Amino acid sequence: MINKTPIDWTLKLQTTVEMATFGSEYIAARTCMEQIIDLHQSLRYLGIPVNGESMMFRDNESVVNTSSNPTSKLSK
């Protein structure tokens, strides 16, 4: 949101099939971060300064803990 106005919304099927909720949540988190990075770059190209943090809301604590630890390994 910019100035309390939503500027990006995505709803689509994932291109992969996962056997557990963790995998699908992790892929959704990765896709969200890619969109945030793209949006930051687009705003900077338009000359709009990007200050502060971007927030991603999630509901799977194991995905947050695994993605927060750079030494963790994902395995199926």
Q: What is the mean pLDDT of residues 62-73?
A: 71
Strand partners, 2: 5
Task: Give me the sign of the Cα torsion angle 12, 29, 2, 49.
Answer: negative
pLDDT value at position 26? 78
CA atoms within 13 A on the CB side of 60: 14
Bridge partners of residue 5, in order along the sequence: 2
Residue with tokens 């969109």: 35
Q: Is-above-0.75 flag for pTM?
A: no
Look at 54 and 41; give whichever has higher pLDDT.
41
Confidence class for position 76, pLDDT limits 50, 70, 90: very low
Q: Residue 33: helix, strand or coil by DSSP?
A: helix
